Amino acid sequence: MMRLKKKKKKKKKKKKKKKKKKKKKKKKKKKKKKKKKKKKKKKIKIKIKIKIKIKEEEEEEEEEEEEEEKEKKKKKKKKKKKKKKKKEEEEEEEEEEEEEEEEEEEEEEEEEEEEEEEEEEEGEEKKKKKKKKKKKKKKKKKKKKKKKKKKKKKKKKKKKKKKKIEVIQ
């Protein structure tokens, strides 16, 4: 009987041990599972962070490109404007020169007509004297005109220079 009791006790002990072991194993398994889950979650979080970072960088790059394009367009526009202005100034200058030439031609024609009229009215000697006088006058007038023209050109150049300096600033 004692033996039987002992055996039973032993069996019970064994069973308890087994149960304990099983419990421990289960606990370990659960812990492992939890750890794995945590790790997985962490990995997913990191992936999401990386994706967000990449997206932000792409957006930044896009913005920079847009800005560069805007600046290029602005520069192009400025250049075009400058070119147009220069062309207009040149055309204006040419027009002024043409006008001056026309005026000179008209004056010469008028002088010639006056000379012809005077020749018809007066004699040969008076005519010669007047011709000389007129020639002197004409020369003087031409010199004056040339001086005026030079002055005008100088003034224009100064103005252009000033404008260029203003544009640069």
Place of tokens 């006056």: 114
Pick 166 or 83 by higher pLDDT: 83
pLDDT at 56 over 80: yes
Q: Name the percent of the chain lying above pLDDT 70.
A: 85
- Tell me what pLDDT residue 134 has: 78
pLDDT at 89 over 80: yes
pLDDT digits (tens, 9 = 90+) for 91-137: 988 888 888 888 888 988 888 888 887 777 766 666 677 777 777 78
Q: How many CB atoms lie within 10 A of CB 104?
A: 14
